[in-house]
Amino acid sequence: MLATCRDLPDLDAEGQGLVRALRGRGADARPAVWDDGGEDWAAADLVVVRSTWDYVPRRADLLAWAERVAAVTALENPPDLLRWSTDKTYLEDLRAAGLPVVPSALLAPGDGEEHPFLDREHVVKPTVSAGSKDTLRLGAEEAERSRAHVRAIHASGRTALVQPYLAGVDDHGETAVVLLDGRLSHAARKGPLLRRSADLVDGLFAPEEITAREPSAAEADVARRALEVVRARTGATPLYARVDLLPSPDGPLLLELELAEPSLFLEVAPGATEALATAVLARAASPGG
């Protein structure tokens, strides 16, 4: 089964392509809404978390669901990775491990709304978020709006993450490096997404401009190092991972490490959907492998 959300009961286009690839190999693959109480998850040899993009307001529910599923069948990625990677405080773990991470300030409820980036262009978002939801790009002249957004995040019970806006992304874009079954598969360029002083995203996610990209040696190195940190923490290799990188004068900086439900941009890389299908079938045949 491929887990999805009620807004996308048949999966997104990427997920539908994966279902076709799996069925083409004789697998009984189908989407299933993660919070549908009528699903018999134990009937599946493997449940793959895919477009569960409505989890943000109820992350605890998703994690509890993951634990229940993992107790009766194999789940990829597994609950410990979902728990760690759905709260962007993991960036501090990656920084502590020596990875080049975008400078960040974490403001938990009760910490107030002052942060070190008020004097420059910056981004404010919750540490639990997806699809650029609840994310603002703000200028130095918008200090009060920045403080207000931090307060709103705190009011929702979440921690705020504040980062300087790295202007190099306006021309270069983000580089999303995708690893399947522990191996670098492909990369994509994500066009600049956040508009300065824009309103918050309405809907599940903000539309993205995606094109193929060959990662630089430095970008590939950061992605592989990030995966090594995950392996060291868990002793396991994720079925899939996406490492989002931003350009800087000192080299690529890690913005996010997506292990829960990322788009993998399979459509920009010939053979990537088949490669993921191969990895899925291997995990189904050897759970925990």
Residue 37, in any domain of the structure: no
pLDDT, position 209 = 87
Query: Do 140 and 222 reside in the same domain of the chain?
Result: no
Query: Do 174 and 141 reside in the same domain of the chain?
Result: no
Q: Is 258 known to be catalytic?
A: yes
Whether residue 21 is predicted with pLDDT greater than 80 in this model: the reply is yes
Domain of 157 in residue numbering reads as: 105-164
In this prediction, residue 190 has a pLDDT band, given cuts at 50, 70 and 90, of very high
pLDDT, position 123 = 95
Query: Do 205 and 173 reside in the same domain of the chain?
Result: yes
Residue 226, in any domain of the structure: yes
Whether residue 176 is predicted with pLDDT greater than 90 in this model: the reply is yes
Residue 116, in any domain of the structure: yes
Number of compact structural domains in the chain:
2
Whether residue 203 is predicted with pLDDT greater than 70 in this model: the reply is no
Residue 252, in any domain of the structure: yes
Q: What is the pTM of this model?
A: 0.93
Instruction: Quote the radius of gyration of the chain (alpha carbons, Å).
Output: 19
Query: Do 114 and 187 reside in the same domain of the chain?
Result: no
Query: Do 263 and 234 reside in the same domain of the chain?
Result: yes
Residue 179, in any domain of the structure: yes
pLDDT digits (tens, 9 = 90+) for 80-93: 999 999 999 999 99
Q: Which CATH number belongs to the domain containing residue 186 in this structure?
A: 3.30.470.20
In angstroms, rounded to a whole number, what is the distance separating the alpha carbons of residues 276 and 87? 25
In this prediction, residue 234 has a pLDDT band, given cuts at 50, 70 and 90, of confident
DSSP code string of the chain:
-EEE-TTSTT--HHHHHHHHHHHHTT----EEETT-TT--GGG-SEEEEEE-TT-GGGHHHHHHHHHHHHHHSEEES-HHHHHHHTSTTHHHHHHHTT--B---EEE-TTS-S--TTTTS-EEEEESS--TTTT-EEE-GGGHHHHHHHHHHHHHTT--EEEEE--TTHHHH-EEEEEEETTEEEEEEEEPP-PPBTPPPP-SS-----EEE-PPPHHHHHHHHHHHHHHHHHHSS--SEEEEEEE--TTS-EEEEEE-SS----GGGSTTHHHHHHHHHHHHHHSTT-
In this prediction, residue 207 has a pLDDT band, given cuts at 50, 70 and 90, of low
Which range is least confidently modeled, 12-26, 64-78, 163-177, 206-220? 206-220
pLDDT, position 201 = 52
Residue 70, in any domain of the structure: no
Query: Do 187 and 160 reside in the same domain of the chain?
Result: no
Residue 113, in any domain of the structure: yes
Do the Cβ atoms of 121 and 139 come closer than 8 Å? Answer: yes
pLDDT, position 266 = 97
pLDDT digits (tens, 9 = 90+) for 59-70: 999 999 999 999
Do the Cβ atoms of 159 and 109 come closer than 8 Å? Answer: yes
Residue 9, in any domain of the structure: no
Query: Do 184 and 229 reside in the same domain of the chain?
Result: yes
Output 274 or 192, whichever has higher pLDDT.
Answer: 274
Query: Do 130 and 180 reside in the same domain of the chain?
Result: no
pLDDT, position 126 = 96
Whether residue 244 is predicted with pLDDT greater than 60 in this model: the reply is yes
Which residue has tokens 């993205």?
Answer: 208
pLDDT digits (tens, 9 = 90+) for 252-268: 999 999 999 999 999 99
Provide mean pLDDT across the span 130-138.
84
Do the Cβ atoms of 2 and 50 come closer than 8 Å? Answer: yes
In angstroms, rounded to a whole number, what is the distance separating the alpha carbons of residues 92 and 95? 5
Query: Do 114 and 172 reside in the same domain of the chain?
Result: no
Provide mean pLDDT across the span 203-232.
89
Residue 96 identity (one-letter amino acid): A
- Find the catalytic residue in 158, 213, 256, 283: 213
- Find the catalytic residue in 174, 242, 261, 283: 242
Query: Do 177 and 154 reside in the same domain of the chain?
Result: no
Q: Which CATH number belongs to the domain containing residue 131 in this structure?
A: 3.30.1490.20
Query: Do 186 and 255 reside in the same domain of the chain?
Result: yes
Provide mean pLDDT across the span 134-160.
95
- Find the catalytic residue in 113, 219, 256, 258: 258
Query: Do 252 and 180 reside in the same domain of the chain?
Result: yes
Whether residue 196 is predicted with pLDDT greater than 80 in this model: the reply is no
Q: Is 242 known to be catalytic?
A: yes
- The burial class, CB within 10 Å (0-12 / 13-18 / 19+), for 233 is middle
Whether residue 193 is predicted with pLDDT greater than 80 in this model: the reply is no
Q: Is 158 known to be catalytic?
A: no
pLDDT, position 133 = 75
